[in-house]
């Protein structure tokens, strides 16, 4: 009977070990930690690309998530080539309050709190902007104000980077309120809201207390018939 037993020769064993060790060494060479990866320092030159820029520009047409800006009017204030004259969302008390707050932060330093262009920076020498209360700007469509904030105009810097589109609209709405505030007439006040300029019939208004003639007042008090009741005392 033939018995076959596989017994590797000592030479075969040696070769197997040698192979294993060299394989391990090779694999160790493949290991690379992230901190040791080849990389370019920001904006370093790179010969690999024709334009030598290691920082690659974004591919044309790339849109960052949440920045599709598909609503043209909301982001430009334009209908075709013209400035639109409506707010792209309902004007609520919150929108106006937000507009006022943003206006006071970003615009008032030059345009002043009432919009006459007399802000503190202007008082210190910056170019004087036109007042919002001139006819040309009172008649300008609301989209015009949005456009000036978005793109700037002459000496006026743009605020697209600091103020979001939503807030630029809120500011535009608030500027409209400012304009009304300086041109309001009695007719803008709803009927029944007039502030009376004389007391109602039958009401006598005492003359203002005269501090210079205080002695007369003291005399008048001493002549009073019954002194005022003191705390805890029974009234007679
Ligand atoms: C650093 C000062 C400064 C700030 C801040 C500033 N503006 Fe102006 N703005 C100007 C100047 C100066 C002009 C005049 C520009 C010109 O005619 O060269 C102007 C002009 C304007 C005009 C009138 C454009 C016209 O047709 O005459 C509008 C509207 C306007 N700014 C809106 C704003 C709003 C809204 C803000 C706040 C988001 C703002 N500005 C913040 C300086 C400023």
Q: Which helix (H) or strand (E) holds 182?
A: helix 165-183
What spacing in Å lies between the alpha carbon of 87 and ligand 1's midpoint? 20
Q: Which helix (H) or strand (E) holds 145?
A: helix 142-151
User: Which structural domain range is residue 137 located in?
Assistant: 91-182
Q: Is residue 133 part of a domain?
A: yes
Which residue CA neighbors atom 8 of ligand 1 most closely?
A: 156
Residue range 138-175, pLDDT digits in tens: 999 999 999 999 999 999 999 999 999 999 999 999 99
CB-based pocket (< 6 A), ligand 1: 106-107, 109-111, 121, 126-127, 129-130, 145, 148-149, 153-156, 159, 163, 171
| Mean pLDDT, the chain, whole residue set | 85
Tell me how far apart the alpha carbons of residues 145 and 167 are, in angstroms, rounded to a whole number: 12
Q: What's the pLDDT at 186? A: 80
Q: How many CA atoms lie within 13 A of 133 on its CB side?
A: 16
Tell me how far apart the alpha carbons of residues 87 and 146 are, in angstroms, rounded to a whole number: 10
Q: What's the pLDDT at 207? A: 77
Q: What's the pLDDT at 227? A: 55
Q: Is residue 137 part of a domain?
A: yes
What spacing in Å lies between the alpha carbon of 188 and ligand 1's midpoint? 28
Q: Is residue 128 part of a domain?
A: yes
Q: Is residue 109 part of a domain?
A: yes
Residue range 77-102: average pLDDT?
96
Q: Tell me the CATH number at 134.
A: 1.10.760.10
Q: Report the b/e string of 178-207 with b at 16+ CB within 10 A.
A: bbeeeeeeeeeeeeeeeeeeeeeeeeeeee
Q: What's the pLDDT at 223? A: 56
Q: Is residue 145 part of a domain?
A: yes
Q: What's the pLDDT at 203? A: 85
Counting ligand 1 atoms within 8 A of each CB, the residue from 109, 129, 154 with the most, and so the one to mutate, is 129
CA dihedral 92, 93, 97, 103 (to 10 degrees): 40
Alpha helices (H) along the chain: 10-30, 72-76, 93-106, 108-111, 120-123, 135-139, 142-151, 165-183, 214-222
Which residue CA neighbors atom 34 of ligand 1 most closely?
A: 107
Closest ligand 1 atom, CA of 119? Answer: 2
Residue range 193-221, pLDDT digits in tens: 667 788 888 888 877 776 666 555 555 55
Q: What's the pLDDT at 3? A: 59
How many domains is the chain partitioned into structurally? 1
Q: Is residue 196 part of a domain?
A: no
**Is the pLDDT at 48 greater than 70, yes or no?**
yes
**Is the pLDDT at 118 greater than 90, yes or no?**
yes
What spacing in Å lies between the alpha carbon of 111 and ligand 1's midpoint? 7
What spacing in Å lies between the alpha carbon of 129 and ligand 1's midpoint? 6
pLDDT band of residue 34 (cuts 50, 70, 90) is: confident
Q: What's the pLDDT at 187? A: 84
193 phi, psi to nearest 5 deg = -105, 0
Q: Is residue 161 part of a domain?
A: yes
Closest ligand 1 atom, CA of 130? Answer: 27
Counting ligand 1 atoms within 8 A of each CB, the residue from 156, 160, 167, 170 with the most, and so the one to mutate, is 156
**Is the pLDDT at 185 greater than 90, yes or no?**
no
Q: Is residue 111 part of a domain?
A: yes
Q: Among residues of the chain, what percentage have pLDDT more than 70? A: 81
Q: Which helix (H) or strand (E) holds 173?
A: helix 165-183
């Amino acid at each position: 009977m033939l018995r076959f037993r596989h017994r590797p020769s000592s030479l075969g064993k040696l070769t197997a070990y040698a192979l294993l060790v060299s394989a391990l060494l090779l694999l160790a060479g493949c290991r690379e930690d992230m901190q040791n990866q080849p990389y370019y320092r920001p904006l370093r030159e790179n010969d690999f690309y024709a334009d030598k820029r290691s920082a690659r520009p974004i591919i044309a047409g790339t849109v960052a998530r949440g920045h599709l800006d598909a609503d043209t009017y909301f982001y430009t204030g334009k209908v075709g080539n013209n400035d639109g004259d409506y707010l792209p969302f309902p004007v609520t008390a919150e929108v106006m309050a937000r507009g006022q707050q943003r206006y006071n932060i970003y615009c008032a330093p030059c345009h002043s709190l009432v919009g006459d262009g007399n802000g503190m920076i202007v008082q210190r020498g910056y170019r004087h902007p036109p007042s919002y209360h001139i006819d040309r700007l009172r008649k300008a469509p609301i989209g015009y104000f949005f456009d000036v904030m978005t793109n700037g105009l002459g000496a006026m810097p743009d605020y697209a980077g600091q103020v979001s589109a939503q807030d630029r609209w809120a500011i535009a709405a608030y500027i409209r309120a400012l304009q009304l505030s300086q041109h309001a007439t009695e007719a803008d006040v709803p009927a029944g809201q007039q502030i009376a300029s004389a007391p109602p019939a039958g009401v006598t208004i005492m003359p203002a207390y005269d501090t210079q003639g205080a002695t007369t007042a003291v005399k008048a008090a001493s002549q009073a018939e019954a002194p005022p009741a003191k705390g805890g005392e029974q009234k007679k």
